[in-house]
Structure formats: structure tokens, C-alpha cells
């Protein structure tokens, strides 16, 4: 019976993650298929690229929210049935599967994003301070470095460090969240393989303020 609860937790996470908010918002506000724009991903960065800052932020927050919902629903449905020993593993399962659903959505023929939003979301459901930490880490890196892939990979590492610290200091009695953060980090890294190659060879796309600064420098250079 417990196996069934875990399967259901995974299904809940996957279906929550599969809701492609970026695709929906860009289709709604711009009438375009986000999969045909920029990187083709459905997360916040490509939504920003396709439809501007407002839609990009709305997509990012919605992607975080679906990771939160996956854990909340799992907790609400299975708390009594699983108890304090097994519930954290079901929560982590739902969280990881929300990342999988985001990256390979059943509603988009298994297309999707890189998984950062739902990864931040499910981690936030476990420890709310993850969200402001993510805002500072990712916002700072996007401003300074301008590469969403670097910000995403860095945040994946940060969540692992957070849950490692919580587990080894005894705050979390179970290793479930640490294991979940590692698995989610590996999934995100796998999804970002092309980006990692471009970062290493210096051809990765830049977004946000750095992209504007770069465009301004190029404009000045062209006039000289």
C-alpha cells in the first residue's frame, strides 16, 4: 500500500510540473508558440525573451508555485497514511517529479524547461527561506553574469547545500530532502547540457541587464 502512495505522490508531482505556464502565458499574451522562440524552453527566461519582463516574472513565479503545490498536495493527502518517517520521502518524490514534469511535460509532447522553478518551489515548501535565497542568488547572478543557465545551476547547488546543512545539523531527521535536491540537481544539469557547452566555449546567450549593457557597447562601437 505504501508503494501506491509513493506512485501517487510521483504522479501528483509530475502533473503539477507538466502545467506549462510559460507556454500558456506567451500564447495568451503574444499569440506565439514559446517552443519556437529562443531556446525553445518554456521557463521564465525564454518567456522573458518572448514576451517581456512581466510575462517572464509571472512564468517564473508560476513555475515555483507548481513545485510548492506538488508538495502541499502530497502532504495533505498522505500525511496521516505515511507518518513522519515516510512522508518526507513522498514529499521529495513529488518535488523531484515536478521538475521532471516541467522538463518533459506530457501536455507538450515531452518538451519543457530546465526545472529551476519547480526545484525552487518544492524546496520552498519544505523550508520557506529557500525562496528569498533563490531571489538573491539568481537575481544577483542574472544581473552580474547574465546567464540563466549559470544562475540555474548555481541555485541547484545552493539547494543541495541547504538540505545537506539541515540534515547534518539534525534539523531534518530524514535524508529525503537532501537526496531529492541531489536528484533534482542532476536532472537540471542534464537538461542544461547544451548551455554548459556554450558557457565553456563562450557562446552562451545573455539576458537581462548584461544583455542591455552588451547591446549598448556594440551600438557605441558601431558608431566609432
| Per-residue pLDDT in tens (0 to 9) along the chain, 224 residues | 789 999 999 999 999 999 999 999 999 999 999 999 988 899 998 998 899 889 999 999 999 999 999 999 999 999 999 999 999 999 999 999 999 999 999 999 999 999 999 999 999 999 999 999 999 999 999 888 889 999 999 999 999 999 999 999 999 999 999 999 999 999 999 999 999 999 999 888 887 666 666 656 655 566 55
- Record the pTM: 0.92
Q: 111 by DSSP, 3-state: which?
A: strand
In whole angstroms, give the CA distance from residue 66 to residue 72.
10
Beta-ladder partners of 106: none
pLDDT score for 212: 67
In angstroms, the Cα distances linking 212 to 42, 60, 142, 205 are 22, 21, 12, 12
Q: What are the residues whose beta carbons fall under 8 Å from the beta carbon of 182, sequence distance 6 or more?
A: 160
Is the CB of residue 163 less than 8 Å from the CB of residue 129?
no
Kindly state the helix (H) or strand (E) to which residue 69 belongs, with its residue range: helix 53-103
Handedness of CA 141, 142, 146, 152 (dihedral sign): positive
Q: State how far the Cα of 151 lies from the Cα of 140, in Å rounded to an integer.
A: 8
User: Using an 8 Å Cβ cutoff, are 212 and 54 in contact?
Assistant: no
Q: Cell 529562443 maps to which residue?
A: 38
> Length of the chain, please?
224
Amino acid at each position: 500500500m505504501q508503494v501506491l502512495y509513493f506512485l501517487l505522490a510521483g504522479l501528483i508531482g509530475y502533473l503539477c510540473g507538466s502545467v506549462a505556464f510559460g507556454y500558456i502565458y506567451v500564447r495568451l499574451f503574444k499569440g506565439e508558440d514559446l517552443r519556437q522562440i529562443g531556446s525553445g524552453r518554456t521557463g521564465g527566461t525564454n518567456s522573458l525573451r518572448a514576451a517581456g519582463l512581466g510575462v517572464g516574472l509571472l512564468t517564473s513565479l508560476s513555475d515555483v508555485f507548481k513545485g510548492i503545490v506538488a508538495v502541499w498536495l502530497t502532504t495533505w493527502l498522505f500525511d496521516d497514511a505515511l507518518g513522519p518517517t515516510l512522508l518526507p520521502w513522498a514529499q521529495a518524490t513529488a518535488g523531484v517529479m515536478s521538475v521532471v514534469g516541467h522538463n518533459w511535460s506530457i501536455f507538450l509532447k515531452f518538451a519543457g524547461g530546465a526545472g529551476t522553478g519547480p526545484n525552487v518551489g518544492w524546496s520552498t515548501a519544505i523550508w520557506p527561506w529557500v525562496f528569498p535565497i533563490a531571489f538573491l542568488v539568481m537575481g544577483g547572478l542574472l544581473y552580474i553574469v547574465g546567464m540563466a543557465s549559470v544562475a540555474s545551476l548555481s541555485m541547484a547547488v545552493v539547494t543541495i547545500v541547504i538540505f545537506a546543512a539541515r540534515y547534518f545539523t539534525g534539523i531534518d531527521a530524514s535524508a529525503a530532502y537532501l537526496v531529492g535536491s541531489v536528484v533534482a540537481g542532476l536532472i537540471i544539469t542534464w537538461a542544461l547540457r547544451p548551455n554548459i557547452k556554450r558557457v565553456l566555449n563562450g557562446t552562451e546567450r545573455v539576458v537581462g541587464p548584461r544583455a542591455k549593457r552588451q547591446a549598448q557597447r556594440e551600438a557605441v562601437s558601431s558608431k566609432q
